[in-house]
Amino acid sequence: MAKNRTSKATILFIFISFIAFCAFVIVPVFAPLPSIQSRHHHHHSHPKNVHRKFEIADDMFWKAGEPFRIIGGDLHYFRVHPEYWEDRLLKAKALGLNTIQTYVPWNLHEPTPGKLVFEGFANIESFLNLCHKLDLLVMLRPGPYICAEWDWGGFPSWLSSMNPSPKLRSSDPAFLNLVERWWGKLLPKFVPLLYDNGGPIIMVQVENEYGSYGDDKAYLQSLITLARSHLGHNAILYTTDGGSRENLEKGTIRGDTVFSAVDFTTGDDPWPIFKLQKEFNAPGKSPPLSAEFYTGWLTHWGEKNAKTDADSTAAALEEILKKNGSAVLYMAHGGSNFGFYNGANTGADEADYKPDLTSYDYDAPITEAGDVDNSKFNAIRRVIARYSSVPLPSIPSDNEKATYGPIHLQRQYSLFDFTNSSNAFESKNPMSMENVGQFFGFLLYVTEYEARRGRRILSIPKVHDRAQVFISCSSEGRGARPTYVGTVERWLNKKLSLPEFQCHSNINLYILVENMGRVNYGPFIFDKKGILSSVYLDRNRVQGWRMFPIPLHNLNEVPNYNPITQATYSAFSEISTSRKMLMNKSENTSKEPAFYSGHFFIERSSRIKDTFLSFNNWGKGIVFVNDFNLGRYWPLKGPQCSLYVPAPVLKHGDNILVLLELESPDPKLLVHTVDEPDFTCGINGMNIHRM
């Protein structure tokens, strides 16, 4: 049995809180956004019109009694800073779109069991009302599974800590009960926002590409019944599956129970696929719809940056539109995987693990930073303009970018400074991250072994996802700094040779494991994190472990600011100052994971613009700006070198930057602000991957 020793507060939270406090004013990027709600306050106030109806008949969509073609695009509210929702939607409208499609990630809205969040990045009602204000229709995709290159396909990570674990995406009663509880809170919010009730929502998707995963018809039917119990029988429900007979047979239900839409590779001849689509819909109920028309593609760490040709993409779209087909661009605007929410894919087996970048630019016509002055936006817009029933709005200008010079950082604390017993879990064998309640980020495993002559061989058969290994002499107490000996990675699992260590007592073994994002697609989607096997030294099982959670907050989470007095802040300031005086150059550039902080000043509000942080010459880590978790950087792997910083994260005056650098800090301890993205890092970064 594991024993949890809870702490009253952790030093780490205090450290990050102190750094932010020193900026004088905390940017409320995690708080509810009353400004958006006040500007777009339409909730529950849509006038119902008896003539207002969206329906399918004669193999066409009909809006208020008139034929209608969907020219839509995916734009995910949870990947865009809420203060930029209107900017991105206006640019989508200028592209020629009349419909926005978005997923709803369960894990963002219910990060812990029963704790429902609908504020900040999760304020979906404000987003939908804003679509309505801008005269954009909405196709809603509430899952419960969404894929989306999002952590675990949107499933809350706490599901994997349940015992027994529910069988995801199935008619397992335990799983359906959880979905019923979640949808029971979610779907009623959308009833006044349905098109027939005066709102923007024209269709609601059930599941997502289920035919690529399973064929449990009882599960699909249960979701349909549940959705109708909340949304009513007039709401149009739809499924989306790959455009093959096998996928459609498994992933949808024939007839008029749901509308079956398709997706397929951009450039494929769409019309044979639309003909196949008709077989799965009721007669007259099959308007041709590509629910995911791919404008680009995703990129994993270590890959070449994916790009697709603008003219070819636009020409493929025209093949659909010129015969009165409908299409939804995936993506119209990709945005960012802020925080720890990026997803991952696998190849032939679960060890062939490929985590997604922090950027979700997707080579979409509207870039990650919202720019539209590019060839793909213009090429797609020209095609849409030929088939749009209304003149297209003028094109907004790109948002201004700014640079704020180099940011000088100082090393503040080693990550190992937070290994005090007050917050440790103890167990005979290693525990998974989920079993200690550390659902994202990092978990530090600590044990010890007997010192003896010669090298030792360390083996961790199953680690998810990346483990850095360190050793130190326990007899030297807290003064001994751990020595880095190597890294074990899920996708390249190897044994480590531990060096002979001159030690008069047992040797401490530290294994820092990073959760790099849960698999969001495919057969290996059940993806627990941490050390998931025994650990072996010279083929002997190592037992007696302590697990130390590293409490870093995720996207849309308010940091745990315990009541800390000004005197406490001052005490930490004095500690930090004394530590700086003792630091030498070798400590600043060691491979020991450590926190670094710095600040930059914005002299006036008019100078607050979008920017990018360049991590050239840094190794791998996590970055916070004014307490906002921007996500991961890994220029050593590439191709992403810089992280996008939306202007609403910044503020007039001092802006605070905090890094957890895991491997190799820049020798000069500099982070540069730049005015454009950079995807040229790593071995493959200089070569763009053309799809």
* Nearest CA among 683, 663, 631 for reference residue 303: 683
Name the active-site residue from 209, 368, 448, 514: 209
Known catalytic residue at 209: yes
Q: What are phi and psi of 112, to 5 degrees?
A: -135, 155
Distance CA 147, CA 153 (A): 4
Per-residue exposure over 302-315, b if at least 16 CB sit within 10 Å of its own CB, e if not? bbbbbbbbbeebbe
* Nearest CA among 79, 599, 601, 647 for reference residue 342: 79
480 secondary structure, DSSP code: P
Known catalytic residue at 119: no
What would the two tokens of residue 456 be?
Answer: 């030792």
H or E element in which residue 449 lies? strand 441-449
Name the active-site residue from 149, 292, 434, 448: 292
281 secondary structure, DSSP code: B
Report residue 359 CA to chain centroid gap: 9
The burial of 119, by beta-carbon neighbours within 10 Å (0-12 exposed, 13-18 middle, 19 or more buried), is given as: middle
Whole-number Cα distances in Å, 224 to 65, 202, 257? 26, 16, 8
51 within 8 A of 330, measured Cβ to Cβ? no
What would the two tokens of residue 146 be?
Answer: 């969404």
Q: Strands across the sheet with 507-515, in order?
A: 3-4, 425-427, 545-550, 441-449, 507-515, 466-473, 483-489
The beta strand positions in 565-641, using DSSP E, are: 594-602, 611-614, 621-625, 628-633
HSE (side-chain half, CA atoms, 13 Å) at 468: 20
Q: What is the DSSP string of 337-388?
A: --TT-B-EEESSSTTSEEEBPSB--TT-SB-TT----SHHHHHHHHHHHHH-
Give the residue numbers annotated as catalytic, written as ranges: 209, 292
